[in-house]
Every structure is written in C-alpha cells, then in structure tokens.
C-alpha cells in the first residue's frame, strides 16, 4: 500500500469523523419544566409528557412547544437551531397563568340542554308567565323575544371577556304544554377561546359546559316559583 494512498485514506476518514462529530454536536437540547407540574407538554403537536421533558432541536430546524392544562391559559414557544436565531436555553421554566374564565364559572352538566319544569297544578298560564319574566329579569337585562301568547322567551346575549377567553350566555324558555302547564328551559353557554370576541360573532363561539357563577341557582329559583 503506497504512502500516498494511505495518506488519502486517513484524510478521508478524518473528514468523515469530523463531519459526523460536528453533526452530532449540532443538535441542541432544552429541558422544559412546567407549573402546574401536571401540565401537558406537546412538541410539534405530539404530547411528549407532563411536567418535565427534554427536547432535542436538530441543526437548521425549529420545534414548537405547547403547554396546556385545564383551567389555565396555554402557552406556546418556538425554539430554533438556526443561524441568526436566539440561543436555545439549556433549561426553560414555563408557568401557566390561571384562566379567569374557569375561576369565574362553574361546570354545569345541563348547559346547552333543555330541562323541563312543571308549573303548580291550577296555576294559570298568565300567572306562570309573569313569574317567569320577573325571575328572568332579575338576572338578565334585556329580553330579545317575549311572546306570552305562544309561551316563548329568549334573552339577549350576556357574558364576560377574560384574558384568554370570552363567555356568552342566553336563556331560552318554551312552553311545552298547557295542560298540564310545562315549560322547557335552556341555558345556552358558549365560549370563543380568545379575549374580546363580540357576542354577535356566532361563528367564533362553541358550546361551553360551564356557566358564569352569577347565574348559579337561577333554575332552582325559577322552579321554586313555578311550583309554589
């Protein structure tokens, strides 16, 4: 084996190992920890764990990290291992903020579901309707539709906007039968998942299985009045 061939072979091997070593070293790692510790960590849409994960960012690539937990405002961060991008930290601590739309509302399994309330036997339709309207106006400012003849009532949208969510709510009352006198009541509760959403932007809202705390107890109050 000639000295020239050996020299060239060694040079090629050196280039190969140098390239391989530099490729291995090119990847960056970041250890992410969260609060709450049970928060779910997603990397490019795939859940990788909860509370703490180590993420590898290859050379000339980016990864998007999302941290989510019910009752908290989610957070998204992107880490890029590219020339000109900010340095990737060795560790990163992500603390989620409490979602005020959860602390200001309660879970309600009959939200967006019709429930039936029977009026007291012998109570006239006029008496019952007066009690319904009075009770509704104690909690809602505006009646969008109020038709005593057919027994139909619908309030305007009410709600609240929070840092990361908007909740809107309305009440619908329908007379189901006259003898016996029965009404169907429905709390329509929806959320948009973003702050400052106009209440009339129907396409941005989806059903929400919670209601604002200020309306808790309303149905019990209405049912008591109709049955007494």
**pTM of the model as a whole:** 0.76
Tens-digit pLDDT profile for the chain (228 aa)?
Answer: 555 444 555 555 544 445 444 444 578 999 999 999 999 999 999 999 999 999 999 999 999 999 999 999 999 999 999 999 999 999 999 999 999 999 999 999 999 999 999 999 999 999 999 999 999 999 999 999 999 999 999 999 999 999 999 999 999 999 999 999 999 999 999 999 999 999 999 999 999 999 999 999 999 999 999 999
pLDDT at position 26 is 79
pLDDT at position 105 is 96
pLDDT at position 50 is 96
Dihedral (C-alpha) 170, 173, 174, 177: value to the nearest 10 degrees? 160
Quote the mean pLDDT of the chain: 90
Q: Two tokens at 218?
A: 């309303």
Dihedral pair phi/psi, residue 8, rounded to 5°: -65, -40
Q: In terms of C-beta density within 10 A (0-12 exposed, 13-18 middle, 19 or more buried), how is residue 146 classed?
A: middle
The residues near 127 (Cβ < 8 Å, ≥ 6 apart) are none
Q: Which residues of 38-71 are buried (b: 16+ CB within 10 A; e: fewer)?
A: ebbbbbeeeeeeeeebebebeeeeebebbbbbee
Domain annotation for the chain: domains and CATH numbers: 3-98 (2.60.40), 105-227 (3.30.530.50)
pLDDT in tens, 64-108: 999 999 999 999 999 999 999 999 999 999 999 999 999 999 999
What's 17's DSSP letter? H
């Amino acid at each position: 084996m000639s000295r020239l061939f050996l020299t060239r072979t060694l040079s090629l091997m050196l280039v190969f190992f140098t390239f391989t070593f530099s490729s291995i070293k090119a990847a960056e790692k970041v250890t992410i920890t969260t609060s709450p510790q049970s928060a779910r960590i997603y990397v490019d849409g795939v859940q990788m764990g909860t509370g703490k994960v180590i993420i590898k960012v290859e050379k000339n690539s980016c990864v998007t990290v999302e941290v989510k937990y019910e009752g908290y405002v989610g957070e998204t961060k992107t880490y890029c291992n590219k020339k000109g991008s900010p340095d990737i930290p060795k560790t990163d601590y992500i603390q989620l903020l409490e979602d005020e739309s959860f602390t200001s509302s309660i879970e309600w399994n009959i939200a967006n579901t019709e429930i039936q309330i029977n009026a007291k036997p012998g109570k006239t339709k006029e008496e019952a309707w007066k009690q319904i309207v009075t009770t509704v106006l104690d909690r809602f400012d505006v009646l969008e539709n109020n038709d005593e003849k057919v027994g139909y009532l619908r309030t305007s949208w009410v709600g609240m906007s929070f840092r990361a969510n908007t909740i809107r709510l309305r009440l619908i009352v329908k007379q189901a039968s006259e003898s016996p006198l029965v009404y169907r009541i429905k709390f329509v509760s929806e959320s948009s998942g973003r702050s400052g959403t106009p209440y009339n932007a129907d396409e941005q809202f989806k059903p929400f299985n919670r209601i604002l705390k200020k309306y808790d107890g309303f149905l019990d109050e209405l049912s008591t009045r109709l049955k007494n």
